[in-house]
Structure 1
Amino acid sequence: MRAILTPDVAINTGIVLLKPGRDLMPMFRERVLVCTMPRDMSHLPSGLVNDSSQPLLDEKSLAGFFNDDRVIKAAGGWEAHDAWVQKINACQLQKKDSYHHPHYTTLRTESGTVCLCYHDDNYCRENGLPESLESVAAGNMARWIIESACIQMGLGSDHRMTLPELCWWACLNDVTDLIPEAPARRVLRMPEEKPATGALKESRIQPERAAREVIQEAAEVVKAVINLAIDPESPESFMKRPKRRRLENEKYTRWVKAQPCACCNNPADDPHHIIGHGQGGMGTKAHDLFVIPLCRAHHDELHRDPVAFENKYGSQLELLFRFLDRTIGIGVIGIAKK
């Protein structure tokens, strides 16, 4: 158990008093760890907090965001969520002196999916879902979305996600408009919104843009690293033997360099231009669009023996196709807008 408590300090006697309440008393049956308040939890009220290392799970204002169908789809969809819950492999319906069958299954609710043993699964289907299990389902959904977002951005499943990182993931998946106003204001370091009360002169009204609108507008600007422009009547297309014009985009290659290695998923060091397959010869260096992220070890391995590399990790074209599919899917490459 973890909790936030407000101490009453008696300086002269050196005594600190805490009033945890009846629900938190079990914490003090043995020694407890006391630490200073983390900055990302300073806004939370006193009381029980989540045992997970993900502070975003304590953000009650994000409950609607994690339960939205568009967000669930961006994270992988209900089927992927069900598969994630199945790996819990423990009955999440805790009842005193309750029997648990040794085999487990999943049960979908309005808020998410829960893992239940066969006995409790039949009990819930016949008698309805306990209210406590709905909160467990919502917690499963939030944990899965956070973990999926971390994996999609190459941060690792055990990464401690921050609110700005969640906003960036929302930006990449076109769900920025679903971020609640309160968290959005904290990301932009705007003061907490205070509803107007009482009579107010019109001259004292100060219009202020919603934080959600500011984030959404910024997302549209930074979303695409490359905006493709289609020109079906380029001058070269009318020439019998046009001179090859190589596409160069340093902004894109810098972004590729910052992605996980296509072979080992560790941080990449280089944007590798495809060699072989008609690319990489004299005057035929691959376009900057035909690059994949590689760490230094795998980049050196590829250039030492491309054939052995492709036998071990797959064709460069296959790795490129997978990478481009992900790149276009998250909006890094988009169609140019007039």
Structure 2
Amino acid sequence: MRALLTPDVAPRAGIVVFKPGRELLPMFSGGRRVLISSEPEFMRVLPSGLVSDADQPLADDPALAPFFSSQQVIAAAGGRDNLAHWVQELAHCQWSGGDGYNSQYHTVLRTEESAVCLCEHHDNQLRETTLSRLDELGRVNAAQWVINSARIDLALPEGHQLTLPELCWWATLRNVIQQMPDAPARRVLKLPAAVVETGTLKEAAIHPMRVATEIIQEAAKQVLELRIDPETPETFLLRPKRRRWINEKYTRWVKSQPCLCCGKPADDPHHLIGYGQGGTGTKAHDLFVIPLCRAHHDALHADMRAFEAKYGTQPELLLRMLDRALALGVIATGKNNRGD
């Protein structure tokens, strides 16, 4: 149980008094200690009283509510069926109050945008009703589930509290960054809050501002444009000289991706060895690279066969990397037909 309380301070006596009200008195029963902390910035707009028991602070941020309730975001996180399954795994009735009775069997009640875990007793009572409190429980569940799905996708450990930049990165990878409200996106970019100009303005005084999510999307893509030329001079030679394709922009992006073996931050863009690639004094094209942490990079060079038996062959890992780069638009053919 968590709550926002306004303190009454008596500095000379060194006493701080809280008035929680009858609903919050169970917080202080049982002899347990209570954790006290200052309110986060996004909670300043909330009224005093009970707040949700979310273990992820982002789930409490009212500015992110439209993002978590978006059907596109829910679909990107796994879909409503997976959300309902996750809610069922809660295995406790989320409805409190009323007659105080809970049956031992639980089921899932789907709301308009989410789902709520209820015992069969309360499910029978509430299934045909429309209550704002029930919808609010569903919104909290959706927010917690989306955050949990993003944490798993980003290979972050269990118990990790997802940050707003991490959520924006996940939304970019899942192509739902457009659903992110402008205010949270501006906080990530450390931009001032958007100001809505009112009144009569001269045309010269109008300064249109870019949407913050577009800036995030543009920074994340780092699009690499390729030029396709089927009639290069080398194609007409009997024994053309091999030219190695070099592009530091692409290898830097690969290095920024998580390790394909463990999901930790990559240290190196590994160029393929074997399979006709690499060798003494040579190196594979910069397109044939995969992200590896230092430990797995060293393990591959120490024993390639053992590495591939455990994690898959290098061409298989490369195919995953190229599929990801193409799906995210990192590799694209430019409309201006210029190479990069």
- Identify the TM-score tier after normalising by the shorter chain: 0.7 to 0.9
Q: What's the offset of the Cα at 1:222? A: 4.1
Counterpart check, 1:9 vs 2:34: no
Deviates more, 1:308-317 or 1:18-27: 18-27
User: How far apart, in 2, do the equivalents of 1:228 and 1:153 lie?
Assistant: 28
- 1:163 aligns with 164
Indicate if the aligned counterparts of 1:4 and 1:49 stay in contact, CA closer than 8 A: yes
More displaced 10-residue stretch of structure 1: 268-277 or 12-21? 12-21
Give 5+ residue unaligned stretches, structure 1. none
Q: Distance in 1 between matches of 2:92 and 2:251?
A: 45
Give the Cα separation in 1 of the matches to 2:157 and 2:195. Answer: 37
C-alpha spacing 1:193/1:264, structure 2 compared with 1 (3 Å): closer
Provide the rounded CA distance (Å) in 2 between the counterparts of 1:238 and 1:46. Answer: 78
Q: Retained in 1: the 8 A contact 2:151–2:162?
A: yes
- The answer on whether the counterparts of 2:52 and 2:60 sit within 8 Å (CA) in structure 1 is yes
Deviation at 1:205, TM superposition (A): 10
Q: AA paired with 1:294?
A: L
2:18 paired with 1:18: yes
1:1-338 matches, within 5 Å, as 1-29=1-29, 30=31, 31-38=33-40, 41=43, 45-94=47-96, 96-101=100-105, 106-116=108-118, 127-128=128-129, 131-192=132-193, 200=199, 202=201, 207=206, 209-210=208-209, 213-282=211-280, 285-338=283-336
- Separation in 2, partners of 1:146, 1:87: 16
In structure 2, the gaps of 5 or more residues are: none
- Structure 2 CA distance for aligned equivalents of residues 40 and 130 of structure 1: 26
Tell which deviates more after alignment, 298-307 or 328-337: 328-337
- Residue 80 to residue 270, structure 1, CA distance change in 2 (3 Å): farther
Alpha-carbon separation, structure 1, partners of 2:262 and 2:268? 13
Cα separation, 2, equivalents of 1:321 and 1:118:
48
Identity of aligned residues (%): 54
CA distance in 2 between partners of 1:65 and 1:317 (Å): 37
* Cα distance change, pair 6–237 in 1 and its aligned pair in 2 (3 A): farther
The number of aligned residues is 332
> For 1:13-52, what per-residue CA distance to the aligned partner results, in whole angstroms no more than 9, with x for missing partners?
3222333344333323343222234456556554433333
Letter in 1 for 2:237: M
Q: Distance in 1 between matches of 2:166 and 2:3?
A: 25
Contact 1:9 1:15 in 2 (8 A): yes
CA distance in 2, matches of 1:235, 1:91: 72
Could you state the TM-score of these two structures normalised by the residue count of structure 1? Answer: 0.81
Structure 2 length-normalised TM: 0.81
Q: Deviations over 1:74-109 (max 9, x none)?
A: 3233344344334434444456212122xx554543
What CA distance in whole angstroms lies between the structure 2 residues aligned with 1:35 and 1:295? Answer: 37
2:102–2:122 CA contact under 8 A, matched in 1:
no
What secondary structure does 2:113 align onto?
coil
CA distance in 1, matches of 2:20, 2:197: 34
* RMSD of equivalent CA atoms: 3.3
